Amino acid sequence: MVTGLKYLTLLAAVLACSPPGRPPDEVQHVEDGYDLWLRYRPISNEMRLAEYLDAAAYLVVEGSSPTLRATRDELTTGLLGLLGTELPAETRVSRDGAIVAGTPGESAIIAALPIAEELRVAGEEGFVLRAMSVAGQQAIVIAANEDVGVLYGAFELLRLIQTQRSLRDLAITSAPRIQRRLLNHWDNLDRSVERGYAGSSLWEWEALPDSVSPRYRDYARANASIGINGSVLTNVNANAQVLTPEYLAKVATLADVFRPYGITVYLTARFSAPMEIGGLGTADPLDPSVQQWWAGKAAEIYRAIPDFGGFLVKANSEGQPGPQDYDRSHAEGANMLADAVGPHGGIVMWRAFVYSNELPVDRVRQAYDEFTPLDGAFRENVLLQAKNGPLDFQPREPFHPLFGAMPETPLMMELQVTKEYLGQDTHLAFLAPMWKEVLDADTYADGEGSTVGSVIDGTLHGYPRTGIAGVANVGTDRDWTGSDFNQANWYAYGRLAWDHALSSEEIAEQWIRLTFSNDSAVVAAVQVMMLASHEAVVNYMTPLGLAHQMARGHHYGPGPWVEGGRADWTSVYYSRADSGGIGFDRTATGSNAVAQYFPPVRDRFADRDSVPDDLLLWFHHVPWTEPMRSGRTLWDELVHRYNAGVDTVRWMRATWETVEGKIDEQRFLDVQAFLRIQEKEAEWWRDASILYFQTFSDMPIPAGYPRASHPLSFYRSLSCPPDTRKPRCEAIY
């Protein structure tokens, strides 16, 4: 119990941001974004601080594994920062106010507690957090069946304290819904990052294995704090060199750093590696010499990295080599690799993002058409990795029709945390609402309630292995992600990977409190901005179900006029704009891609009267003059949506101004500058798109809406610099 003079002394130290025993210059924190949501700044709420100091007088962590040492370190660091006092470590509970952490296997204290049922529910990676009596004293218990669960529980406790939740009636049992929760890094060996907007790759390949950056540990801590347990280090457009002994030694060093934080390392496998680094004349998956080569390579990898997770493979897509080069199926290619890693406990994640070199009738049909005939043909340690939608990470897509359509093949979902098509580092676009749209969508594969979430977590079809992947948005920028608000998408991905039932509102509020402030005015203002941001971007980029209207190559800024070359790499292929209307007919009168969905989803999407407005032009070619549910014509509704996007960004800017002085100045100014850019670029998107589509509709802009500042020729002439990191068009400012 902390009372009297001791409490007042501690409180004064905390409010002065100078924990006892530490000189002021050691605790001055520059808010540059590096700490992410693990800021551990002093609690200024006196009532909560008193409660936490009473509850956390000392620390008992039984066990000496690297993971439990990491747990002890995190609790010590976090509580020192939050409470302003270092908790003494003890080996037994002797008085009120202890935090007790451990597993029944390593802690006699935990083993003696009446929480066996809670631990059963927690499973292999979950944890139990309880305020309860231990040895006759009040304590906070962090218990789990495995060490990594204790670590996850420690982060949850710190999160509760950071967000100033009461611990008095603490009773949480939490377990991940999905087994493998991975970040996919599209990082190249030269340290460039495909679709990366936050600097270079974190992995310093030239310095490894001898020099180990401290950022590796901080990266692992950040991932563990939100439940991510796997990292695919290399680009899906793979380089076979990463499988050579030189690079495997480097990968092993990273694995050693990540291991205490529960992070398993995976690599991308280039299908033609036996030819490129193995000296073989073929990569045919049915050739015995190829099979032997991969088996030997897998054994070599596992000697270097005993807990190696397995391979992620992109094959026969966008020119990548694969089994179809030898007239073999995707299943035959995946199974060959699965047989190589299977004896070591590894898996193969085979990407379903495929499309052939021949121009298709409709590109969004191809994955379903190629993979559904192979359901049940894959080895048990193969997971098929499908994007959230059938096209390519667009601002809005319907859910991928493969979800629910392959009951005999575990499907894992691939999300893009990096915002390739959503304003990259510049635009505020909180992606949890977009991901929730997909996760909560009902496939009707086994009747009502067959959500996409229930497919990927294995409950619908009984998948023995489950997974989810997020294409990472991190790099060497000091703030990790290129902007403060991009951190929220990394955080949201991890939280949804752990529990996809969480709401966007809940995740946003947590992140704001952890990252900026517990001030209710800040939380309210920033949360409403975040929750509105994705819809704003959809409106000014691709309203009403339009897709792929971005500029060619870098995908930054509008390019609805893009044509020439391969048709399904152009914007005009997807808009199908002509004098009669706009939109891609995917009903029975068109490509019939809608037939890939189960009824009643199929019927709802196919019917012009029931299809959601948000997906109208994805599934239908609609006349410009057709009335919409709003009472406007399609043309007027399109203009309205573009303007609504701009108006929302303008409102977001004004809302952000209300928190000035309530968060640190530097991050306030950084966000303010990005919002200024976003507003200008939203206007650019609106004006360029409306002027272009007006050439087909030949209809006036409705009264009350602004006219473009420039003619269409001006917008078509803009050429963003060929810098994939910062491809902004300064001419529009």
Identify the pLDDT of residue 368: 97
Band of residue 719 on the pLDDT scale cut at 50, 70, 90: confident
The 10s digit of each residue's pLDDT in 531-554 is 999 999 999 999 999 999 999 999
| Token duo for residue 711 | 């003619």
Q: Residue 84 above 50 pLDDT?
A: yes
* Cα 646 from chain centre: 26
Q: What residue type is assigned to position 138 of the chain?
A: Q
- Mean pLDDT along residues 584-613: 98
The answer regarding whether domain 180-515 maps to CATH 3.40.30.10 reads no
The 10s digit of each residue's pLDDT in 331-353 is 999 999 999 999 999 999 999 99
From 206, 246, 318, 578, active-site residue: 318
Identify the pLDDT of residue 143: 98
- Mean pLDDT along residues 638-642: 98
- Mean pLDDT along residues 204-208: 98
Q: Are 222 and 262 in contact (CB under 8 A)?
A: no
| Token duo for residue 621 | 């070619």
Exposure string of 673-706, with b = 16+ CB inside 10 Å and e = fewer, is ebbebbbbbbbbbbbbbbbbbbebbebebeeeee
Identify the pLDDT of residue 728: 72
Mapped onto helix, strand or coil, the DSSP state of residue 468 is strand
Say what the alpha-carbon torsion angle 419, 424, 427, 430 is, to the nearest 10 degrees.
20
* Cα 305 from chain centre: 26
Query: Where exactly are the structural domains of the chain?
Result: 4-174, 180-515, 539-584+621-732
Identify the pLDDT of residue 424: 95
The 10s digit of each residue's pLDDT in 605-623 is 999 999 999 999 999 999 9
Identify the pLDDT of residue 463: 98
- Mean pLDDT along residues 494-521: 98
DSSP label of 324:
G
Identify the pLDDT of residue 720: 76
The 10s digit of each residue's pLDDT in 406-418 is 999 999 999 999 9
Band of residue 10 on the pLDDT scale cut at 50, 70, 90: very low
Q: Are 517 and 163 in contact (CB under 8 A)?
A: no
| Phi and psi, residue 148, nearest 5° | -65, -30
Q: Which residue has the tokens 């599209």?
A: 186
Identify the pLDDT of residue 29: 63
One fold for 4-174 and 180-515: no
* Cα 1 from chain centre: 42
Cα 311 to Cα 193: distance, rounded to the nearest angstrom: 19
152 Cβ neighbours under 8 A, 6+ residues apart = 125, 126, 127, 144, 174, 224, 227, 262
Cα 515 to Cα 154: distance, rounded to the nearest angstrom: 18
The answer regarding whether domain 4-174 maps to CATH 3.20.19.10 reads no
Q: Which residue has the tokens 């305020």?
A: 131
Cα 421 to Cα 389: distance, rounded to the nearest angstrom: 13
| Token duo for residue 587 | 């009903």
Active site residue 420: yes
Per CATH, the architecture of 539-584+621-732 is what? Alpha-Beta Complex (3.90)
- Mean pLDDT along residues 563-580: 96
- Mean pLDDT along residues 473-489: 98
Identify the pLDDT of residue 731: 67
Q: Which residue has the tokens 């304590």?
A: 139
What is the model's pTM?
A: 0.95
Listed range (375-384, 543-552, 723-732) with the worst mean pLDDT: 723-732
| Phi and psi, residue 262, nearest 5° | 75, 15
358 Cβ neighbours under 8 A, 6+ residues apart = none
Cα 674 to Cα 121: distance, rounded to the nearest angstrom: 44
Q: Quick one: angle between helices 486-498 and 504-515, nearest 10?
A: 130
Q: Residue 516 above 80 pLDDT?
A: yes
From 125, 146, 370, 420, active-site residue: 420
Mapped onto helix, strand or coil, the DSSP state of residue 654 is helix
Cβ count within 10 A of residue 191: 17
Active site residue 626: no
Mapped onto helix, strand or coil, the DSSP state of residue 112 is coil
Q: Residue 55 above 60 pLDDT?
A: yes
Q: What is the CA radius of gyration of the chain?
A: 27
- Mean pLDDT along residues 28-56: 92
730 Cβ neighbours under 8 A, 6+ residues apart = none
Identify the pLDDT of residue 723: 60
Q: Are 591 and 359 in contact (CB under 8 A)?
A: no
Query: What does pLDDT average to over the chain?
Result: 94
| Phi and psi, residue 153, nearest 5° | -65, -35
Q: What residue type is assigned to position 624 of the chain?
A: W
Q: Residue 19 above 50 pLDDT?
A: no
Listed range (4-8, 120-124, 576-580) with the worst mean pLDDT: 4-8
Cα 526 to Cα 517: distance, rounded to the nearest angstrom: 10
